[in-house]
Amino acid sequence: MTTYPFNFDPSRPFVEQASDWIADVFYEHLPEAGFEVRDEQIFMAFQLERAYKEKKTIFAEAGVGTGKTLVYLLYALTYARYTRKPAIIACADESLIEQLVKPEGDIAKLARHLNFTIDARLGKSPDQYICLNKLDEARTGEDEAAGYRDIYESLPEFVHFSNTLQSFHPYGNRKEYPDLTDEQWNRMGWDVFQDCLVCSQRHRCGQTLSREHYRKSADLIICSHDFYMEHVWTYEARKREGQLPLLPDHSSVVFDEGHLLETAAQNALTYKLKHTLFENIVTRLLQGEIRESLAVAIEEAIDQSDNLFALLDKCSHPVEASDRKDFVLSEELMREVNRFRDVIDTIEEELVFESGLSTLDDYQLKIVEEHLEMIQIALELFKRPDHLISWVTEGVDGLTLVIMPKRVKEVLKERVFSQKMPVVFSSATLSVGGSFDFIAQNLGVDHYLSFSVPSPYDYKEQMKASLIPDPLAAEDKLKRAMELLKQTEGRALILFPSREELSRFRKQIESSGQSAAYRFLYEGSAEISHLISAFQNDEHSVLCAVTLWEGLDIPGPSLSHVIIWELPFPPNDPLFAAKRKDAEHPFEEVDMPYMLLRLKQGIGRLIRSRDDKGFISIFGTKLNQDAVKEQVQAFLP
């Protein structure tokens, strides 16, 4: 493999030469391989040239069918080879990652038709890997339905033995267990409450070993938005702890479906606290010979944590249509939070004295100090409730307190957009009313380039759409849905606004006996890319999903009908409640823009090639409101 796919002249700027070659790819090489010449694609290529030449952020809004993925891949690839640092392609979620790297995906197409090797490796999120500790618990439990003991026995030999690790191969990826339901996977998959830093099995963990693999990529590292933001958020902390950052230094970053980055950033900055987790953290300090004052402070902190969570349990209440519980920041609750912060302060002060005595293990001490610092940063937000979004969730092991900052643009501005490198936002929906100021302001981007190109498809000829106000009875709605499925003999994607709606639909259709008419595939019943492949290959099947509003790319007759089960207004949870509270006109400023953006993305799943034809059917109780109906109709053929 040569370094560059073209003859490089050192006397000329590299990006200009790369741009000339990329133009040749779209004008000559790909058309010779059977691809059509797309003016929109070539226009985008010349726009990206400036972003890479000037190392700036660019909002690249390109409609469905413009071939935007091929454009940004070519620039990211050539620039990575020029700088000798890999490019990061950050996708909205794991299913989109799989679509990008699948054998018939865009990376494979470029490698095949341009006749060169592309080193593309996956940097998957931690929750996509087996946690060996959780698997140990699952395989010794009473539930044998998922075959956890068989899974354990099937792991590579080096996992089971403590002798020196001589060789390894990647293992433990969620995709390797396609038949497990999400619930079964969660019993053995990593979660945020696993403390990997002090895990005795971390050097044999599939997640840890995979990092050694993808860090060595020469060209591209493919990850999710969440994982990239986790890298940004933990970068300094991991360096302080003597660890490598989650991702290596990179030459550029592409945020595919970039309109979703703000949500990913908020998720990465979210802190989750459990009483049991806190107790486990601070009691590590009791394992050495410590002064009595530190031991007393630890006991007081554990008691105060217990008091705080008891009060949260007492004053929190369930939120309808959400798995979250809300609470009011009363004076009593604020007193308990402040007391908790005070006792943590006391522990931190005691640790300053204790570290000078060298009675504690340095590594353990560093880990505990890092945890305490993160807890204090999170609790600090309670001082400014207008900057805070917080709620609790309830599980079998008690309450979890979730703390999230409202605005993340300061962090993004400092740690992403201040870096002198090309940053590409790619999506079919980035602008509002033709302006990119809204997304730029939310993300903290002060200076940017931008452009928009429409889809080349003729939607009036290729798509027929119908709006259906909800029937009064659920049975009538199900009956109407089955009638719609008959129009295309299955071949349908049904998009639901929440997992609860999907679950109700599944129970209803199975109890009615109508599920035998077609093969229904349900998100959560197996690994997502496995479900997508089954849907694509079984032409008359029906895929029911919650997270596939963006990015799903299935051209051809397998997807001939998109049914929107309900207009995708934002959920009734504390995150959107906070946004509504800050808005002067909540429905117009929060609910409608969110719904319309998500609806456009969902409708975009239907037409994926010039030959595609099909139907869009949209249910929605609010379609009876003229203002809502008019805005939905505005972007339908």
Enumerate the domain spans of the chain.
124-216, 271-407, 459-635
Amino acid 97: pLDDT: 87
Question: What is the pLDDT at residue 1?
Answer: 42
Half-sphere exposure of 446 (CA within 13 A, CB side): 7
Look at residue 321 in the predicted model and tell me its pLDDT.
Answer: 64
The residue written with tokens 């009876």 in the block is 624
Cα 361 to Cα 198, 292, 299, distances in angstroms: 12, 18, 20
**Which residue, 447, 406, 441, is CA-closest to 423?**
447
pLDDT, residue 358, reads 62
User: 459-635: same fold as 271-407?
Assistant: no
What is the architecture of the domain spanning 271-407?
A: Up-down Bundle (1.20)
Residues 31-60: tens digit of each pLDDT: 998 888 888 899 999 999 999 999 999 999
Sign of the CA dihedral running 543, 549, 554, 557: positive
Tell me which CATH homologous superfamily contains domain 459-635: P-loop containing nucleotide triphosphate hydrolases (3.40.50.300)
The packing angle between helices 275-283 and 292-315, to 10°, is 180
CA separation, residue 616 to residues 3, 245, 506, 568 (Å): 46, 44, 21, 15
pTM here? 0.84
Chain CA centroid to CA 53, Å: 29
Positions in the chain short of pLDDT 50: 1
Which residue bears the tokens 């972003």?
A: 51
Kindly report, residue by residue over 213-259, the tens digit of the pLDDT: 899 999 999 999 999 999 998 888 788 777 889 999 999 999 999 98
Q: What is the DSSP string of 398-461?
A: EEEEEEEES--HHHHIIIIITSSS-EEEEES---BTTB-HHHHHHHT--S-EEEEE---S-HHH
- What pLDDT is attached to residue 265? 87
Q: Are 48 and 453 in contact (CB under 8 A)?
A: no
> Using the 8-state DSSP alphabet, how is residue 541 labeled?
-
